[in-house]
Amino acid sequence: MADSACRELILKAVFICLLKLAFSYSFRSCIEIPDSNHKTFRCIKCHEPDITTIVQDVFPTATNLTVSRSNTTFVQGRSFDHLSNLTCLVLDVNHIVEIHKDAFNNLHQLQILNLSCNRVSSLHRDVFSDLHNLTQLLLGSNKLNNTDMFLFSKLTNLQILNLRRNNLKNFSALVECIANLSSLIKLDLSFNNLTTLHHSHRLPESLARLYLSNNKLYKLGCDKSFLMYVKVLDFSDNKKLSFEAFQGLNLENITYLRLRFTNVSASKLLTHTNVRPWSIDFSGLKLKDSRALSSLCFFLQHHHKKQHIPKMFLKGNSIRALKNNTFYHCPNFTGVMDLSRNEMKTTGCLQFLHGQNQLESLKLEHNHLTKLMSCNKTKNLYSLRSLSYRYNRILQVSGFAFSNTPKLTNLELNINIIAYMDHKALSGLKDLVTLRLDNNLLTDVYNDSFKDLTSLKTLNLRNNQIAVIFNYTFHSLSNLSILDLGGNKITQLKPHAFDGLHSLANLYLDRNRLNMIDSSLFGKLHATLQVLDLQDNHIRYLKEHTYSPFINMSRLLDLKLDAQKPNGIYLLPRAFFRGLTSLKSLYLTNNHIIGFGDETFDDLKNLEFLTLVDSCVGIAQLKPGIFKNLRKLKMLFVENMGIKSFSKEVFGNLTGLKTLHLNRNAMMSLDISLLDNLTNLTYIDMRSCPLSCGCQNSDLQNWTVSNKRLQFPYLYNITCQDHPGSYFHNFDTNVCYLDIELYLYSLTFTFTILLTLIPFLYVRLYWKFKYGYYVFRSWFGEQWRRLRDQEENYKYDAFVSYNSADEDWVMEQLLPNLEGSSFRLCLHHRDFELGRDIVDNIVAAVYGSRKTICVVSQSFLRSEWCSLEIQLASYRLFQEMQDVLLLVFLEPIPKRQLSTYHRMRKVMLKKTYLQWPGLNCSDPSSAKELFWNQLKRALRSSNTGSQEEQKMKEENDQKRQEKDMEETEYFVNQTPIDEEVYYLIP
Ligand SMILES: *[C@@H]1O[C@H](CO)[C@@H](O)[C@H](O)[C@H]1NC(C)=O
Ligand SMILES: *[C@@H]1O[C@H](CO)[C@@H](O)[C@H](O)[C@H]1NC(C)=O
């Protein structure tokens, strides 16, 4: 039992190690923003109601965390305990009703806490006690009705406190809890239920911006100096508030006072307080006609002579018309005058501004203007630079409509219903830089419409009704860098439509009806064009062609071709993108392309962004090598392209890839080793792929939950294609690992057994293995040799194996005696083939000779090669029943020494051996003669014939008896081998 538990533990450890090599991660309810370095996390629309659970797997490295649009009602204590690096925590738009007093404990780094749009009605006084670094606390749109005195007491660094849209009534209590916040700059109390500003404490002196709009204030009831440090003060939409409330109040530091839709009379306020007139926003103060405005001017002029007024806000005063010279007696307005949201039907030629010759900007938005008239006969407003007529009902712009404002640099005529714009409407605007004509009903622009606009940089004609761009329309716009023609009905671009656009960088032609890309037309822009938007046109190719419409566009960075109507590009020509060598972004979504050639993207070596989402018809497999040159690609969207497998040939070269979107493809599995090669990949989205929950994906499953390199977002929502109702992240892989476990177990077991046996086998069976191997190697050679040489036709009679120390004896004794008797001997130094492997030579020698003579001496026993030979020969002896081995003992070897050569003793036990008589023999010459005769007889004997052997053995036995009696040493049969050794070698 204990053993199996231990085994399991070890296996687990092994697995963890294996799995740590490759890896991705995912979060139950959150995603990490790609490229954020494990710092920014978002958890949006989580079904999980418990916020602690939602954020539990977010990495501790997180600095910015957003949990939004979930059904969370309660923030538990220590929910963010592990996220002590958080600097920004956004918990807006949930259903939070209650927050535990320890909810934000440990968030010592937190700077921004956003709890807006929840249902919090009260907060524990300690809930923010750890947040001493907090600079922004956003509590807007909750249900707070009171605040504890100590609620904010620890927030000594707080700069911004937002409490708008709550149910606060008690201003005094509120001031009490912020009184010590010496860093507080902005306090927003708009949309509450405050009725007075009665207070028992003072505002922090740092507080510069106080917003009190949309309360129920009717009197202020505060000290005269209470607001003396405030600079921006908003009392708008306190309907009952009248000027009396401000009487005597010190407002001298105010720079902006907003009183819109209160009951305050501007002139009385100016008369009875020390507020500076240029600080007041006069919007919504019922200054509805020239008379009211003139008297305001008169007042400003006479009480504050010499002053220039930098901004004049007169919005929402129900002004219907302004007489000429209305502002003639005002001090000089220098910056902006805003007359938006009034009810003017005409502004003539801005004659109401006569006398104002320093005004720079005029806004007349959201009025009821219908026509801009000719103004070439009125006084000019040379100071006006910016003029906005947005959101009116202008249908017609007459010729010379802006002749009175010749210095305009910015003109906004957008969001009207301009259908008629005279050829000369814009004449004279030589300084104009930005012209907005978008969202009108223009059908034609003429070749002289923009004639004078030589400084123009941005021309926006989006969302009109233009059908044709005629030749030379933009001829004089040599400084234009952005031309927006999107959302028109352009079917035709005349050949010289873009002539003169020498600086054009961005050209938007999306949502038109172009059916081709005219390379000569766009080619003219090649030197400057960087962005070309051709989305949603009617471009379609039905047959292959070999030129690229973009061939010269080597500066183009961004090309959009998505969603061609009605049925997509269809056949994308192979050379289509040739020449786009700088291109960084390419959009091709929604195009019903039937297939991509493998060289389609070859020129796009600098591409960083590519989207092909929904670009195919059905299943159009990506060709191998299609992305081979896109090494700089960082983001790739290949959603819904029918991709069935994620192959190395297609994706393997995308080494720069960081984000990969593979959603809605047909892949059932994913090879994780390939992802390991994409070393920059940090995000892979595979939602809505029919991932199988079978063993082929068990690695993927493990991999998706373990490491920190690669995010696999929404993993926990991915279901099993083949097991409806179960989830990919936890499908049961035990079955798969059981196999592997068993496999690993048997592997480990075998390994252990082997480890135990190897030393033993090494000692006992080493040579057997080694020779088995050599014999196997020689076997083939032998087989064919035998085939070639059917009868036992040996090349040599004997292969002589000896040690070089005994060479003299071999050369002087053996060779003359045997070769003299016409025996063919094989000697290694003489007969081995040069250059052949020594082992092969030995094998060939042993098998190429009828016998092998081993010249045994002390030196021989020490030599490995000789041992190899003797073992090979003895292998033949024992295994092939070939009697090939002849042992010749040159010197007496002590029995004790021989016992270490087990095999030698075994051979000696089974076989004849001869002892060289040597020098200390009593009758050397006759003994030698006998020796040679014996040797020659043994050499002649048949290898298989056991008769001879039997004879020799009998003879040996006889001789042994003789030896026993006569103590001769001519034939030595060693004493019986001890049984043990014998049996150990089977
Ligand atoms: C929140 O709850 C409502 C009603 O119970 C449900 O309709 C909605 O889908 C839930 N939202 C989330 C994100 O779970
Ligand atoms: C993270 O929060 C900090 C404020 O603490 C902010 O400056 C930064 O822009 C935020 N980063 C992101 C990616 O939202």
DSSP letters, 571-586, are: S--TTTTTT-TT--EE
CA distances in angstroms from 720 to 486, 688, 697, 711, 775, listed in the order given:
44, 10, 11, 19, 56
Q: What is the C-alpha separation between 195 and 175, in angstroms, rounded? A: 14
pLDDT for res 687: 87
The two tokens of residue 174 are: 């509120």
Query: Which of 71, 72, 714 to probe ligand 1 with, by most ligand atoms within 8 A of CB?
Result: 71
Alpha helix (H) ranges present in 179-233? Answer: none
Distance of CA 932 to the CA centre of its chain: 86
CA atoms within 13 A on the CB side of 876: 26
Cβ-contact 744, 11 below 8 angstroms: yes
Kindly indicate the confidence band of residue 850, based on its pLDDT and cuts at 50, 70 and 90.
Answer: confident
pLDDT for res 871: 63
Q: Is 131 in the pocket of ligand 2 (CB under 6 A)?
A: no
Q: Is the pLDDT of residue 56 over 70?
A: yes
Q: Which of 513, 544, 578 is at the close of a domain?
A: 513
Q: Is 47 in the pocket of ligand 1 (CB under 6 A)?
A: yes
pLDDT for res 707: 61
- CATH value at residue 867: 3.40.50.10140
Is position 548 within any domain?
no
Q: Is 111 in the pocket of ligand 2 (CB under 6 A)?
A: yes
Is position 464 within any domain?
yes
Q: What is the C-alpha separation between 481 and 502, in angstroms, rounded? A: 8
Is position 730 within any domain?
no
What crossing angle do the helices spanning 734-788 and 2-19 adopt, rounded to 10°? 80
Kindly indicate the confidence band of residue 673, based on its pLDDT and cuts at 50, 70 and 90.
Answer: confident
Q: What is the C-alpha separation between 195 and 214, in angstroms, rounded? A: 11
What's the CA-to-centroid distance between 59 and ligand 2, angstroms?
Answer: 16
Q: What is the C-alpha separation between 800 and 775, in angstroms, rounded? A: 19
Q: Which of 664, 671, 659 is nearest to 698 (CA)?
A: 671
Q: What is the C-alpha separation between 202 and 206, in angstroms, rounded? A: 11
Q: Is the pLDDT of residue 966 over 70?
A: no
Q: Is 64 in the pocket of ligand 2 (CB under 6 A)?
A: yes
Q: What is the C-alpha separation between 872 and 702, in angstroms, rounded? A: 53
- Closest ligand 2 atom, residue 36 Cα: 13
Q: Is the pLDDT of residue 755 over 80?
A: no
What's the CA-to-centroid distance between 65 and ligand 2, angstroms?
Answer: 9
Q: What is the C-alpha separation between 466 and 494, in angstroms, rounded? A: 13
> Could you tell me the pTM of the whole model?
0.72
Q: What would the pLDDT profile of 83-110 be if each residue is shown by its tens digit? A: 999 999 999 999 999 999 999 999 999 9
Is position 519 within any domain?
no
Q: Is the pLDDT of residue 661 over 90?
A: yes
Cβ-contact 147, 122 below 8 angstroms: no
Q: Is the pLDDT of residue 712 over 80?
A: yes
- Closest ligand 1 atom, residue 71 Cα: 1
Cβ-contact 537, 509 below 8 angstroms: yes
- Closest ligand 2 atom, residue 64 Cα: 1
What's the CA-to-centroid distance between 63 and ligand 2, angstroms?
Answer: 8
pLDDT for res 738: 57
> Which residues are CB-contacts of 744 (< 8 A; sequence separation ≥ 6)?
11, 14
Q: What is the C-alpha separation between 601 and 578, in angstroms, rounded? A: 8
CA distances in angstroms from 859 to 338, 587, 806, 807, 890, listed in the order given:
116, 83, 8, 11, 10
Kindly indicate the confidence band of residue 231, based on its pLDDT and cuts at 50, 70 and 90.
Answer: very high
Q: What is the C-alpha separation between 646 and 676, in angstroms, rounded? A: 13
Q: Is 71 in the pocket of ligand 1 (CB under 6 A)?
A: yes
100 forms beta bridges with none
Kindly indicate the confidence band of residue 739, based on its pLDDT and cuts at 50, 70 and 90.
Answer: low
Instruction: Give the amino acid at 649.
Output: E
Instruction: Give the amino acid at 845.
Output: A
Number of H helices, E strands in the chain: 21, 42
Q: Which of 515, 478, 522 is nearest to 497 (CA)?
A: 522
Q: Is 112 in the pocket of ligand 2 (CB under 6 A)?
A: yes
Total count of residues recorded for the chain: 986
The two tokens of residue 802 are: 């000896």
What's the CA-to-centroid distance between 204 and ligand 2, angstroms?
Answer: 27
Cβ atoms within 10 Å, residue 20: 11
- For the residues of 743-762, what is the DSSP string, one character each? HHHHHHHHHHHHHHHHHHHH
Q: Which of 447, 454, 502, 443 is nearest to 476 (CA)?
A: 454
pLDDT for res 277: 85
Q: What is the C-alpha separation between 56 and 538, in angstroms, rounded? A: 50
Closest C-alpha residue for ligand 1 atom 14:
47
Q: What is the C-alpha separation between 434 and 430, in angstroms, rounded? A: 11
What's the CA-to-centroid distance between 93 and ligand 1, angstroms?
Answer: 13
Q: Is 85 in the pocket of ligand 2 (CB under 6 A)?
A: no
Cβ-contact 287, 314 below 8 angstroms: yes
What crossing angle do the helices spanning 902-910 and 864-879 adopt, rounded to 10°? 40
The two tokens of residue 626 are: 């299609």
Q: Range with the lowest mean pLDDT among 190-194, 197-201, 521-525, 854-858?
A: 854-858
Q: Which ligand is nearest to the CA of 47?
A: 1
Mean pLDDT of the chain: 84
Closest C-alpha residue for ligand 2 atom 1:
64
What's the CA-to-centroid distance between 71 and ligand 1, angstroms?
Answer: 6
pLDDT above 90 as % of the chain: 52
What's the CA-to-centroid distance between 57 and ligand 2, angstroms?
Answer: 20
Closest C-alpha residue for ligand 2 atom 4:
88
What's the CA-to-centroid distance between 116 and ligand 2, angstroms?
Answer: 17
Q: What is the C-alpha separation between 392 and 419, in angstroms, rounded? A: 13
pLDDT for res 408: 97
Ranges of beta strands (E only) in 47-142 are: 64-68, 74-75, 88-90, 98-99, 112-114, 136-138
Closest C-alpha residue for ligand 1 atom 5:
71
Closest C-alpha residue for ligand 1 atom 9:
47
Q: What would the pLDDT profile of 830-841 be if each residue is shown by its tens digit? A: 777 766 666 677
Q: Burial of 236 by CB count in 10 Å (0-12 exposed, 13-18 middle, 19+ buried)?
A: buried
Q: What would the pLDDT profile of 141-173 be if each residue is shown by its tens digit? A: 999 998 899 999 999 999 999 999 999 999 999
> Which residues are CB-contacts of 192 (< 8 A; sequence separation ≥ 6)?
163, 164, 165, 166, 167, 168, 169, 214, 215
> Which residues are CB-contacts of 426 (< 8 A; sequence separation ≥ 6)?
401, 402, 411, 432, 435, 449, 450, 452, 453
Is position 92 within any domain?
no
- Closest ligand 1 atom, residue 47 Cα: 14
Alpha helix (H) ranges present in 789-901? Answer: 807-809, 815-819, 828-831, 838-848, 858-862, 864-879, 895-898
What's the CA-to-centroid distance between 47 and ligand 1, angstroms?
Answer: 7
Q: How many domains does the chain have?
A: 2
Q: Is the pLDDT of residue 682 over 70?
A: yes
Q: Which of 513, 539, 567 is at the close of a domain?
A: 513
Q: What would the pLDDT profile of 851-909 be if each residue is shown by its tens digit? A: 888 888 877 777 655 556 666 666 666 556 567 778 888 887 776 666 666 566 666 66
Best-predicted range by mean pLDDT (48-62, 482-496, 943-957)? 482-496
pLDDT for res 970: 33
Q: Is the pLDDT of residue 596 over 70?
A: yes
Domain of residue 482: give its range.
369-513
Closest C-alpha residue for ligand 1 atom 6:
71
Q: Burial of 209 by CB count in 10 Å (0-12 exposed, 13-18 middle, 19+ buried)?
A: middle
> Which residues are CB-contacts of 959 (< 8 A; sequence separation ≥ 6)?
968, 970, 971, 973
- Closest ligand 2 atom, residue 87 Cα: 5
Q: Which of 804, 786, 803 is nearest to 795 (CA)?
A: 786
Q: What would the pLDDT profile of 770-786 be if each residue is shown by its tens digit? A: 666 666 655 555 554 55
Kindly indicate the confidence band of residue 563, based on its pLDDT and cuts at 50, 70 and 90.
Answer: very high
Q: Which of 488, 513, 538 is at the close of a domain?
A: 513
Cβ-contact 130, 106 below 8 angstroms: yes
- CATH value at residue 444: 3.80.10.10
Query: Which of 36, 41, 64, 67 to probe ligand 2 with, by most ligand atoms within 8 A of CB?
Result: 64
Is position 908 within any domain?
yes
Cβ-contact 586, 603 below 8 angstroms: no
The four Cα atoms 907, 910, 914, 915 give a dihedral, to 10 degrees, of 70
pLDDT above 70 as % of the chain: 82
492 forms beta bridges with 468
Q: What is the C-alpha separation between 840 and 777, in angstroms, rounded? A: 8
Ranges of beta strands (E only) in 158-263 are: 160-162, 186-188, 209-211, 232-234, 256-258
- Closest ligand 2 atom, residue 111 Cα: 5
**Arithmetic mean of pLDDT, 42-49:** 91
Q: Which ligand is nearest to the CA of 43?
A: 1
Cβ-contact 90, 65 below 8 angstroms: yes
pLDDT for res 777: 59
pLDDT for res 981: 30
Q: What would the pLDDT profile of 521-530 be if each residue is shown by its tens digit? A: 998 999 999 9
Q: Is 648 in the pocket of ligand 1 (CB under 6 A)?
A: no
Residue 642 φ/ψ region, left for φ over 0, alpha for ψ in the -120 to 50 degree band, beta for the rest: left
Is position 433 within any domain?
yes
Q: What is the C-alpha separation between 274 and 61, in angstroms, rounded? A: 53
CA angle in degrees (0–180, nearest 5) for 714-717-721:
120
Q: Range with the lowest mean pLDDT among 50-59, 209-218, 631-640, 960-969?
A: 960-969
Q: What is the C-alpha separation between 280 and 250, in angstroms, rounded? A: 15
pLDDT for res 962: 46
Is position 523 within any domain?
no
What's the CA-to-centroid distance between 112 and ligand 2, angstroms?
Answer: 9
**Arithmetic mean of pLDDT, 503-532:** 94
Cβ atoms within 10 Å, residue 922: 9
The two tokens of residue 39 are: 């710092």
Peptide bond into 566 cis (omega under 30): yes
Closest C-alpha residue for ligand 1 atom 12:
47
- Closest ligand 2 atom, residue 63 Cα: 1
| Buried-state track 815-830, b at ≥16 Cβ within 10 A, e below 16 | bebbeeeebebbbbee
- Closest ligand 2 atom, residue 40 Cα: 13
Q: What is the C-alpha separation between 721 and 694, in angstroms, rounded? A: 10
Tell which wins on pLDDT, 674 or 619: 674
**Arithmetic mean of pLDDT, 444-467:** 96
